[in-house]
Structure 1
Amino acid sequence: MSPNLSALGKKMIQYALVLFVAVTINFLLPRLAPGDPLLYFFDEGTLKELTAAQKQTALDSMGLGGSLFEQYIVYLKGILSFDFGVSIKYGLPAMDIMLERLPWTLVLIGPAMLLSALAGIAVGAFSAWNRSKAWDVSLLTGMLTFQAVPGFWIGMLFIAIFAVQLGWFPTYGAVSIVQDGTALGWLKDVALHLVLPIATLSIATVGSNYLLTRSSMLESLGQDYVVMAEAKGITKKRLIYNHGLRNALLPVYTHFMMNLGTLIGGSVVVETVFSYPGIGRLLYESVVARDFPMMQAVFLMITVGVVAANILADLSYPLIDPRAKSARRIKEEG
């Protein structure tokens, strides 16, 4: 077996173990949380009047019957068959509901991540080149402010100004109840509903991209090859983007890939503020309703997303930074 295949096999085994542990924690967390899922269907008075057999029948219908070990086996079998059970709140297969909500979240976080990353990288590189100058101090202060301000506060501020006061955008949801019935009208309506959530999520996350880019760029600009290139008279633009930024992108790329997996669930605050029908809102509703099947399905999707993002980042490192490929080859030969 070649060293590359051997290293890849070891890496896949590590990720499989991580996924197994995460899946197990995913199963245990909802069950360790306080509260009784039966209270979603029955008030406390009615619940007290139910017999033990009636309670057990209700739990069995929700997939919560039997011992913890038996539930765990059923849970693992469901994962292998993509069957997460029936949602307690909606009375429909959890997988169907999740797949229905997922596109709305992807439409939201995709542009938001891209805008946040591009703005953070561009402004961070500019700020690093102008370190300790007025521009750098101003940008650093502004980005630290964005980093400290809660996302829900930004969203509520946007709603108050641009939706309520100015009336430019809708206040909630993904589509309007009343539409003109055309495909173009529907797309325009969806786009208008996306503006404020995307802006909120972008502003809430741009600070981390900026700070990471600035820090990495400062380290890169201090290297000997950059000083030599500057001494040769290379233009400022080429020096920043061709020499400094290209070698500072690896930690930024890693951060971007990690967000790729976590933002699916991390958008819960923004989706809740705007009543946006995505995965984040679904997770919030599931936790409030103690909807075990739905919680497990969403948590598992987030877990798989994070692991998949790690694998993709690890495999694509050499494309971003050839030094990673050289280091891996030296390690394998050694």
Structure 2
Amino acid sequence: MSTYITKRIVYMILILFAASFLIFCLYALTPGDFISGNIKLTPERKEELREIYGLNKPVIERYFTWMGNAFHGDFGYSLSQQKPVLTLFNQYIWNSFLLAIVSTFLTWLLAVVIGVVAAYKQYSWFDTLVMICVFAAMSIPSFFIGLFLIKMLAVDWKWLPPGGMMTTGSNATGIAYYKEVIHHMILPVIVMTLLGVGSLTRYFRSNMIDVIKQDYIRTARAKGMKERKVLFTHALRNALLPAITLVGFELPALFGGSLIIEKIFNWPGIGQLYMQSFSLRDYPLLMGFTLFIAILTVIGTLISDILYHVADPRVRL
């Protein structure tokens, strides 16, 4: 195990170096930037700012300077926000993480339960209803579901706030603050859960159908075990093995946020900040965030491989 982890860490470092170079070149060689696109600056002021931030140096030199600073926790300075990139991450990314962690938990919980029951009752009315809802959830665009729920639950019935993280002008603190945040996050969490539960339910259903046909499931039933224990103890554990691969992609999703959902509900997360940076050509922020997602993706794949070995010792790393 230790030898495997050491090798993977070496591979991760090489992959991240290659990814960082591609990310930097992609943004550095893109025509225009925040300074050149700012019509309020005079040509002299633009040249002065490019000199200050080193934008007039060769790309290779700028890359090694950027990577050297990144090793010390400095991912650059956001010109549009006038703040260090790492400060902006710490300010916005936890809001996205809050939405993602709650919606991910609900998505996996519902997908596992519904998928197991649908596989057990294959071709029943419940299974048919589940498959119709699954394909509907996978087919309807996220912005349509979000706007529809805002219209119904926020505008017409006035059950939930239409967007934001806090009520405008609110000075709530302590328990009142947490209650207000929870109240505002219910609607975006519902939308994110509906979007994710469809494909994942279909995934668990197909895996469970294959597993419950195995000989050891028939043996467990022949021993007189309760059907609930057979399904959720013996069958589900093996059906979860292929799903462990998805864990590697869940880690960057937890911090990456949902770009469209955050925009629709005006949620102050990193996804909305990322989209604003595109229109403003704030390349230091874009590079820092893209590299951060690359790091999380590589770490997530390592975690999923280790978990796969832990869940099934027969798999050799």
Quote the offset at 1:307 in angstroms.
1.6
Matched, 1:21 2:12: no
Equivalent residues in 2 for 1:301-320, closer than 5 Å: 301-320=292-311
Deviations 1:236-290 (A, max 9, x none): 2112111110111122232134122234325111111111111111111111111
Q: What is the aligned partner in structure 2 of residue 110 from structure 1?
A: 101
Quote the offset at 1:233 in angstroms.
3.4
Segment of structure 1 superposing worse, 32-41 or 58-67: 32-41
Equivalent residues in 2 for 1:126-141, closer than 5 Å: 126-141=117-132
Equivalent residues in 2 for 1:1-334, closer than 5 Å: 4-42=1-39, 50=43, 54-179=45-170, 181-324=172-315, 327-328=316-317
Segment of structure 1 superposing worse, 256-265 or 274-283: 256-265
- How far apart in 2 are the matches of 1:180 and 1:26? 41
Segment of structure 1 superposing worse, 178-187 or 157-166: 178-187
Indicate if the aligned counterparts of 2:149 and 2:187 stay in contact, CA closer than 8 A: yes
Indicate if the aligned counterparts of 1:261 and 1:307 stay in contact, CA closer than 8 A: no
Quote the offset at 1:142 in angstroms.
0.7
Q: Which TM-score applies when normalising by structure 2?
A: 0.93
Percent identity for Structure 1 against Structure 2: 28
- How far apart in 2 are the matches of 1:262 and 1:180? 31
Deviations 1:35-94 (A, max 9, x none): 443354226xx77xx25xx54323234452311111111111121011122111111111
Unpaired runs of 5+ residues, structure 2, are none
Quote the offset at 1:146 in angstroms.
0.7
- How far apart in 1 are the matches of 2:219 and 2:271? 49
Quote the offset at 1:204 in angstroms.
0.8
Indicate if the aligned counterparts of 1:287 and 1:295 stay in contact, CA closer than 8 A: yes
For 2:170, what is the secondary structure of its paired residue? coil
Unpaired runs of 5+ residues, structure 1, are 329-334
- How far apart in 2 are the matches of 1:98 and 1:125? 38
- How far apart in 2 are the matches of 1:32 and 1:130? 56
Indicate if the aligned counterparts of 2:96 and 2:257 stay in contact, CA closer than 8 A: no
Indicate if the aligned counterparts of 2:165 and 2:184 stay in contact, CA closer than 8 A: yes
Quote the offset at 1:180 in angstroms.
5.4
AA aligned opposite 2:192: L
Segment of structure 1 superposing worse, 212-221 or 17-26: 17-26
For 2:77, what is the secondary structure of its paired residue? coil
AA aligned opposite 1:6: T
Deviations 1:187-222 (A, max 9, x none): 111111111111111111111221211121122112
- How far apart in 2 are the matches of 1:203 and 1:62? 44
Q: Which TM-score applies when normalising by structure 1?
A: 0.88
Indicate if the aligned counterparts of 2:146 and 2:188 stay in contact, CA closer than 8 A: yes
Segment of structure 1 superposing worse, 55-64 or 288-297: 55-64
RMSD across aligned positions (CA): 2.0
